[in-house]
Structure 1
Amino acid sequence: MIENGWPRSAAWTDGELRLGGIGVRELAARFGTPAYVLDEEEFLARCALWREALPDGEVHYGGKAFLCPEVVRWLEAAGLCLDVCTGGELAVAAAGGMDPARVVFHGNNKSVAELRRAVAWGVGCVVVDSFAEIERLAALAGEAGVRQRVMVRVTPGVAAHTHEFIATGGDDSKFGFSLNAGLAAEAVRRVLAAPSLELTGLHSHIGSQITDLGGFTLAARRMSGFLLAAEREHGVTIPRLDLGGGLGIVHRPGDPVPPGPAEVVAALREAVPARVRLAVEPGRSIAGPTTVALYEVGTVKEIPGVGTYVSVDGGMSDNPRPAMYGAAYTAILASRLSAAPPREVTVVGRHCESGDVLVRGLPLPADVRPGDLLAVPASGAYQRSMASNYNHVTRPPVVAVRDGSARVIVRRETEEDLLRLYS
């Protein structure tokens, strides 16, 4: 078994990397490259770990990490709920057969059409994010003759030690209502004053790729204190506290190993009143380590005094995270063994951008050559979901592997798919 961010089925056999019991050379021949190879058993095992850690609460899978109808079916079978944040993600949830009562609808600027659709579908909960949205949703629920269940999103003023682009718990966040400025208390008052809305909980989320429990527990204490204060002020019971997700994963050797689900839940439980139903929203920590991105080397360019560039057939269109906020990955030569000594290279993509870099300072065998396959672990979260058609490159498929079998759960885009959009 290979560790450090790889799925548990990853193993070296007969001189090549195997995933889910299938060699990467066969996967590349059958499905092409680039491709995302998803270990189905790993995904389900990670769902089970969260479900086992919180049997008396709710585990909401963060759909923005990676979502498709087949994943929705896995979540339904695993007993998880689902977080969505757009009408498109609502559509995928419905296509996968998710019970709408187990769907939570997030987002800082949901449109009227999206809210109307969510109410009509019977979505389990809407996380309100602004005063305008409270008014908008109350009117739509009133028109529909229903009492819509909501949570109020609160920014607890907790700084997560992560990149500024994925930190969401500070007072300057675009998300939610500031606790410190008194806006969260006012939001609770307005929800309770709306006959067509039912306040079922409070919500917070402090950021992503977090590897220590300090921020989580501080946010949990602040949110618990606010919940108790709101109950006293209004003489109500607020049954649920959703403390979000954001737990990090290992992307490369040497990365800090984050706590596991049981440790996270135990720490949160200590800060939350026992009678309050706890909810969490893991996304990356479920999807991330399940998937390996597979690329073919196209060119190897040595520049004297500068270094070596290894170009692959993907890049920032299928993994924009290194260019967006400096996310660091590793990669290995996956299609053969090599006795050549390692040398540091820069793995780059095929796009017309100097910033199209996937991995910097990567030790690869000095004989790496065109036609070799490189494998990048920890590629299951925020890669396919953030992928683009930059330079009119088609997006890769997602291939699920399990027990020696492989099947496409998201097909590769074609040029015909791109051309259909043009008049």
Structure 2
Amino acid sequence: MSTASERPAVPEWLEVPEDANSLTAAVWPETAGRGDDGALRIGGLDVREVVAQFGTPLYVLDEDVVRARARRVRAAFEHAASRHGGTARVYYAGKAFLSTEVVRWVTDEGLRVDVATGGELAVALAAGADPAQLGLHGNNKLLPEIARAVEVGVGTLVVDSLVEIERVAAAAAERGVTQNVMVRVNSGVHAETHDFLATAHEDQKFGFALTDAADAVARIRSHPSLRFVGLHCHIGSQIFGTAGFEESAARVVDLHARLLAGGDVPMLNLGGGFGIAYTSVDDPTPIEELAGGIIDAVARECGARGIPLPELAFEPGRSIVGPAGVTLYTVGTVKPVRVSDELERLYVSVDGGMSDNARPALYGAHYSARVASRTSAAAPALARVVGRHCESGDIVVDAEYLPGDVTPGDLLAVPATGAYCHSLASNYNYVPRPPVVAIASGEARLIVRGETVDDLLARDLGVARPTVEESA
């Protein structure tokens, strides 16, 4: 975990804005803007009114934006595949953010859902998702999770090791069914991303090396209770451009072609990892360009080998839900700190922190921030938004220019927090996790209840409980 002192005082990319109230369109939800009085509005609602009802910290998710992005992603991949006479399916990667409401939104828009644990599977099923439209990942699926997935009829299990092949085969045979499985492979392509997010290295926990995958497929084909339906490859996260996907596709298609000698290989899943804008300098590749470039590359590689284009699958998560989310905080303290003889920084402390957004501490991730309750004519001042936890690395926004008169009581908004913030949230320092509110059609509604201290104490069996007489 990095500390504040290990970061540069001012990142090279960060420029002083002409207006510290401005909202960079690519970073904020499409429905975000400021009202006539300067307050931030999301989906037509004044965030001050939302906070008055639900408090802070608060995750806000624009349902219309999630749905629109889901439709756009699906259309992009289906259109790109149809140009080559093929088909594509899109799974929403639930690890980005999962709740029963979000499952309903994305499935309403024609997406399938990718889950990675028994808990995520339970959420998808509770939402009414068709098990046949689900995929289950995980490098160490527990035996009860495998049994549950096979029992309910999960459409595809992505196997990650030889022992897992045997476990899935046994679970399917015991129930007298044939389970569809894919094999996760590591293409050896390293996407340009943080090392902790790069999941296609040979020396890592996920999947099979390309040189070992054929043996895994042969093992699957030897089991009458399993049906091999294709290969899966995921090269990383927060990726801009298509170069990494194209190189990975070439290697995986080569393996796909060789496996055809032993039987059908109907599907190729190239994962997700499509990047979004967190700051004004991020320039994510439009999904239409990504879909076209990746599928063109697969079609080109298949054509060169004289094999048909398989059905293609993709698993975006962050790119669907990330830009739809904004986290709202209340400023508690503002402290000027002299960084050098030439530089002063405002430390703006908010009522949340690394317990509701772990990504800056885990990955050194950068975010943006704006005062949400008003606008200001004050000159921009260099600021660092920090949380209230007992860690120097408890940073929400490492470097940003906020109005110099930012003050306790102001509402602060951090955009692009729809993905991996709620999912990674914790109770560090016994801080309850915030609620999640969805905005749609000009109304806000609670979709995930926030925790209370009583919720946390309820799990501590050493807490004294009232006697029957005391509670009567």
Mark yes or no: TM-score above 0.5: yes
* Number of aligned residues: 418
Query: What CA deviation, in whole Å up to 9, does each residue of 1:263-322 have, x standing for no partner?
Result: 222112223245310100000000100000101000011234563211000000000000
Contact 1:251 1:377 survives alignment (8 Å): yes
In structure 2, the partner of 1:258 is: 284
Structure with the greater alpha carbon radius of gyration: 2
Q: Report percent identity of matched pairs.
A: 55
TM-score (norm 1): 0.97
- SS at 1:53 equivalent: helix
In structure 2, the partner of 1:420 is: 458
Q: In structure 2, what residue type is equivalent to 1:208?
A: S
In structure 2, the partner of 1:384 is: 422
Aligned with residue 359 of structure 2, among 321, 327, 333? 321
Deviation at 1:333?
Answer: 0.8
In structure 1, the partner of 2:438 is: 400
1 CA distance for matches of 2:286 and 2:346?
38
Q: In structure 2, what residue type is equivalent to 1:35?
A: L
Query: What CA deviation, in whole Å up to 9, does each residue of 1:332-389 have, x standing for no partner?
Result: 1111111111110111000011110111221111111000011111000000000001
Q: In structure 2, what residue type is equivalent to 1:261?
A: I
Aligned CA RMSD, in angstroms, stands at 1.1
- SS at 1:54 equivalent: helix
Contact 1:224 1:271 survives alignment (8 Å): no
Q: In structure 1, what residue type is equivalent to 2:358?
A: P
Deviation at 1:66?
Answer: 0.1
Is residue 142 of structure 2 the alignment partner of residue 120 of structure 1? Answer: no
In structure 2, the partner of 1:171 is: 202
Aligned with residue 391 of structure 2, among 318, 337, 353? 353
Q: In structure 1, what residue type is equivalent to 2:420?
A: Y
TM-score (norm 2): 0.87
Is residue 309 of structure 2 the alignment partner of residue 280 of structure 1? Answer: no
2 CA distance for matches of 1:164 and 1:326?
11
- SS at 1:93 equivalent: helix
Is residue 297 of structure 2 the alignment partner of residue 271 of structure 1? Answer: yes
Counterparts of residues 19-418 of structure 1 (less than 5 Å): 19-55=42-78, 56-179=87-210, 182-232=211-261, 234=262, 236-255=263-282, 257-272=283-298, 273=302, 274-305=308-339, 307-418=345-456
Q: In structure 1, what residue type is equivalent to 2:123?
A: V
2 CA distance for matches of 1:169 and 1:258?
21
2 CA distance for matches of 1:8 and 1:366?
27
Contact 2:347 2:384 survives alignment (8 Å): yes
1 CA distance for matches of 2:445 and 2:29?
17
Deviation at 1:177?
Answer: 0.1
Q: In structure 2, what residue type is equivalent to 1:340?
A: A
Q: In structure 1, what residue type is equivalent to 2:252?
A: M
Q: In structure 2, what residue type is equivalent to 1:227?
A: H
- SS at 2:255 equivalent: helix
Q: Which has the larger displacement, 156-165 or 412-421?
A: 412-421
- SS at 2:373 equivalent: coil
- SS at 2:280 equivalent: coil
Question: Runs of 5+ in structure 1 lacking a partner?
Answer: none
Deviation at 1:2?
Answer: 5.0
Deviation at 1:422?
Answer: 1.9
